[in-house]
Amino acid sequence: MNCRSLVRVLVASAALAAGALLSGCNSDDVSLAANAKANQPVPPKLIAAMAEKDMDLQSPILVRLFKQEAELEVWKKDRSGRFGLLKTYPICRWSGDLGPKVREGDRQAPEGFYSITPAQMNPQSAYYLAFNTGYPNAFDRALGRSGSQLMVHGDCSSRGCYAMTDEQIAEIYSLGRESFFGGQRAFQLQAYPFRMTPLNMAKHRNNPHMPFWKMIKEGYDHFEVTRQEPRVDFCEKKYVFDAVKAPNATRDPVFDAAAKCPAYAVPDEIADAVRERQQEETAETAKLIAKGTPVARLNTGIDGGMHKVFASKLPEASTGLSEGGDGQSLLLLSRAPGTIPSTVNPPRMPNLSQPEQPVVAVAATSASAAPAPTRVAAVAPTAQSDNFFSSLARKVGIGGTADATPASAPAPAKPKATEAKAPQPSIVRVTARPAETKPAAVKPALKPSISDVTAAPAPAARDPMVAGSQPIVPANSFDSRFSAAK
């Protein structure tokens, strides 16, 4: 199976290269066809997992990201036409806070729904391999949000991106490539602050980003109840999911992110299932709040997060804003899934000797309201004060002083640059990697496949492209890159 796949990829690569040369030597096509990293076959273990879950190698995929849990999920359509969970990958590094990206240079990794086309796949990334998230989409642009070159890439280093290890991104990239060879024109990327469970909604109930999170949770719920890729549109500066032509309408609705919403409907079977789910979860959230579920502590001084499986391999590292994620125990392996670069800057815990800022309740009135200055929700330990006896012992000289005064936490390290083209900070680490525009020749051509734990499947199906997504190169790149392999 794997040998046939490898032969097919090589033949397709040769056809792509030949076609590119005949059509005028399109440099992107030639680089894709000749790039060994971009053409690595899907690992045999993953192909076996697809067979067990009744999935085809080239069936459509869908990707979900969760910051707090620091996990990336790859879903794949099975032969029943529904999406099932193929594999969960721990995220090596993400930057910024919980919440959406607002402006260029804010270090935020984006949240929301995006479409990934073949044009957004970057086989020549300075961070091994990458694909562009497509930020900003039409919703982001309608709110005046700015930013560019926000990627999912390798090298475990982030300044507004989601960074995996090189071995992980090679595997994820190969899954995306195969879905394009199978005819999928774009796969959907869903990025969330955390898994949208009643417990997490209760913990973060006072976060200023909650109106936005409730809005994208609507799409999360659509996917959960249907296991189909939700159709995404925008109007009145908000997301709209699975919209269809309204009854008695003569034409399909036309959406504009900045304009008034047209008349539309949501299929009854989807609307009813989503409504029932939301009623149950709203009631569960209210019970958790009534029982005294604490509000997640709002910390400052933490830049992003890292899955525990990686943080545990680095000296003095913490998981940052990924601390306490429900999924952290799923992938505690004896070894990290991939090579952790020596230049990685893990998140550091802030100095907790400063008094905690009070939590301010925020009313969730408008889902499209612009977010307030970012304050991040995360659980952090509180420093314990000395008791009477330990203070007395110190005064009379009994006992050592090493345990008497807790050492202050190290200052947050400044992560190195990633795919973003934002200006470099004034103080640059010697080990900082060059910007994305520099060639990737300094990195090894190939990395070995990883073989970590796969998560259990769950069924889903649909293939439309998210409306308003921003292309990275001309749209005809799909045909020039992938049509030869159909």
Let me know: does 374 contact 362? Beta carbons within 8 Å: no
Burial class (CB in 10 A: 0-12, 13-18, 19+), 413: middle
- CA 66 to chain centroid: 6
User: Which position among 3, 25, 92, 161 bears the catalytic label?
Assistant: 161
CA 50 to CA 34: how far, in whole Å?
27
CA 155 to CA 152: how far, in whole Å?
10
Amino acid found at 473: V
Q: Which two tokens stand for residue 309?
A: 């499986």
Q: Which two tokens stand for residue 376?
A: 């991040």
Amino acid found at 127: Y
Partners of 64 in the β-ladder: 73, 190
Let me know: does 84 contact 74? Beta carbons within 8 Å: no
Burial class (CB in 10 A: 0-12, 13-18, 19+), 289: middle
Which has the closest alpha carbon to 198: 89, 290, 64?
A: 290
CA-to-CA separations, 139 to 185, 212, 298, in angstroms, rounded: 21, 11, 27
Q: Assess whether 161 carries a catalytic annotation.
A: yes
All residues at 6 or more sequence positions from 233 whose CB lies less than 8 Å from its CB, including other chains: 239, 240, 241, 243, 253, 255, 467, 468
Let me know: does 472 contact 135? Beta carbons within 8 Å: no
CA 303 to CA 94: how far, in whole Å?
8
Question: Which residue's structure tokens are 């909604």?
Answer: 201
Catalytic sites, residue numbers = 153, 161
